[in-house]
Amino acid sequence: MCTIHPASRELIEAVWRERWDGFVVSPNGLYRPEDVHGFVLLNDQGELAALATWAPTRTGAEVTTLDAIIPGHRYGEQVLAVLEQELRGRGVRGLTVVTSNDNLHAFQLYARRGYRLVRIHRDAMERVRKLKPGLPDCGNHEIPLCDLWELEKGL
């Protein structure tokens, strides 16, 4: 049986170091592990399977990262559901998430969960590359990596 519980700062730091170069850039700000809260999902074998992190915003909260460490089991979607439930319980009414224009898998996941595309931040990856110069020009499916898509969901 999978278990989901709050993520430690050390775990967030380790995952972000490996997968996000230690920090996340969003049109809403720059996030470091100490700026966020998170939930971790451990699979039946007790292995780290997914991590979802979030930060408060002026109008609600932002999902800062959603990592399916073990893909193909909908672990990311499961931990996202718990994050949404937790934030709803805290009185948060709106949740945003930002993803790159090449991340069609993420777009599908969020759309299935009721998120709506509200903004396209054209050429935002230029700003991200100034902070993360190692980012490639093309991403998944050989799609030029240029824009950030912002989605919202009412809770």
pLDDT tens digits for 119-129?
999 999 999 99
Across residues 27-31, what is the average pLDDT?
Answer: 93
Could you tell me which of 79, 126, 76 has the C-alpha nearest to residue 100? Answer: 126
Average pLDDT value for residue range 9-33: 96
Mean pLDDT of 17-40: 96
- The CB density around residue 124, as the number of other CB atoms within 10 Å, is 21
DSSP state of 52: E
Percent of the chain with pLDDT over 70: 100
CA angle 27–114–53, rounded 5-degree value: 50
- Other beta carbons within 10 angstroms of residue 120's beta carbon come to 12
Average pLDDT, the chain: 96
Residues 155, 42: Cα–Cα separation, whole Å: 25
Query: What's residue 113's pLDDT?
Result: 96
Does residue 32 register a pLDDT over 90?
Answer: yes
Domains by residue range for the chain, with CATH = 3-154 (3.40.630.30)
Residue 146 scores a pLDDT above 90: yes
Encoded tokens for 93: 């009414």
Average pLDDT over every residue of 9-30: 96
Q: What per-residue confidence (pLDDT) applies to 1?
A: 83
pTM: 0.94
